[in-house]
Copies of this chain bind each other. A is one copy, B any other.
């Protein structure tokens, strides 16, 4: 049923999805659009997309006839695209049959705002059953740097691809089932979560590690960056521990700004909890409490 896929945003995740579709045997057409002509060019050169739209208006035209539209841009841009796409997809021009003829899905890092907006713009329970459906998604894959040049067909292998369906109780449409099967074909496991739970869990396992790595890297830059001798010493002495805890310091603000704006409260709560935990540890560097912290931490790791 899925013959035409449109990828809006051909950066790391969008282009990797195109490559993964091809690698897993998808033979339909993959169209793409990106605000950056060079990202678009890289995506096409690598075979991630076959054809591309030359403008937003052009992309909306492609959208009219696509079976699946994948929004692979940062969260606020996804919300903008949803607004632009709603009138185009809901005019029913593409709908020939009985079920919903188009599936809109995304890869945004936070899901509550996107899922709520989808409920209002693309209601499942619409009397016009043929309207486009929205399936909020989030592949837990990425790199500390973005861009189509880093895209890989295997990026989602053994990763988890989360969904936060608008109506978890209802049977997925055939189109949604087909998209889920394509995702499984990338080697990813899928898991459904409520959007609020998604955002809380991701604050812990993804956003907090990111903010932590950014804060530590920024602190080290402030402390040692101005002095070449100190910089060299830090570079010489720092091993795997430093490398791993600062790796995400390379992540781009452009993407994380949207995460911070769309998941502020959960992220702030995890940061505050970590600040308090670090203070507790600092005040107990010479007491038996330090042992309790290490034992708890050992316990956490022993299950991983």
A binding-site residues for B, Cβ under 8 Å? 140-141, 144, 159-160, 162, 189, 191, 193, 197, 201-202, 204-206, 208-225, 231, 233-239, 241-253, 256-257, 260-261, 264, 267-268, 271-275, 277-282, 285-286, 290-304
Please report the C-alpha to C-alpha distance between residue A215 and residue B273 in the assembled complex, in whole angstroms. Answer: 10
Q: Given that A141-B239, A249-B300, A304-B243 are known contacts, is A275 also in contact with B273, CB under 8 Å in the complex?
A: no
Q: Contact: B257 with A291, CB < 8 Å? A: yes
Please report the C-alpha to C-alpha distance between residue A123 and residue B261 in the assembled complex, in whole angstroms. Answer: 60
Q: Contact: A237 with B205, CB < 8 Å? A: yes
In the complex formed, the residue of B with least CB distance to A238 is B205
Q: A256-B290, A264-B285, A267-B285 are in contact. List 4 more A-B contacts (CB 8 A).
A: A201-B233, A209-B241, A214-B297, A251-B294
Contact partners of A233 in chain B: CB under 8 A = 191, 193, 197, 201
Q: Contact: A301 with B246, CB < 8 Å? A: yes
In the complex formed, the residue of B with least CB distance to A279 is B275
Q: Contact: A252 with B221, CB < 8 Å? A: no
Q: Ordered nearest first, which 7 A-B pairs have the shortest CB separation?
A: A217-B297, A253-B294, A249-B297, A218-B296, A221-B300, A244-B244, A250-B301
Residue among A235, A274, A282 with max Cβ neighbours from chain B (10 Å): A282
Please report the C-alpha to C-alpha distance between residue A201 and residue B236 in the assembled complex, in whole angstroms. Answer: 11
Contact partners of A144 in chain B: CB under 8 A = 301
Please report the C-alpha to C-alpha distance between residue A261 and residue B264 in the assembled complex, in whole angstroms. Answer: 37
Please report the C-alpha to C-alpha distance between residue A92 and residue B237 in the assembled complex, in whole angstroms. Answer: 37
Q: Shortest CB–CB separation between residue A297 and chain B, in angstroms?
A: 4
Q: Contact: A299 with B245, CB < 8 Å? A: no
Contact partners of A302 in chain B: CB under 8 A = 250
Contact partners of A282 in chain B: CB under 8 A = 211, 267-268, 271-272, 275
Q: Contact: B260 with A206, CB < 8 Å? A: no
Q: Shortest CB–CB separation between residue A186 and chain B, in angstroms?
A: 15
Picked from B211, B243, B248, the residue with its CB within 8 Å of the CB of A278 is: B211
Contact partners of A252 in chain B: CB under 8 A = 294, 298
Please report the C-alpha to C-alpha distance between residue A202 and residue B237 in the assembled complex, in whole angstroms. Answer: 8
Please report the C-alpha to C-alpha distance between residue A279 and residue B271 in the assembled complex, in whole angstroms. Answer: 7
Residue among A141, A221, A252, A280 with max Cβ neighbours from chain B (10 Å): A221
In the complex formed, the residue of B with least CB distance to A162 is B237
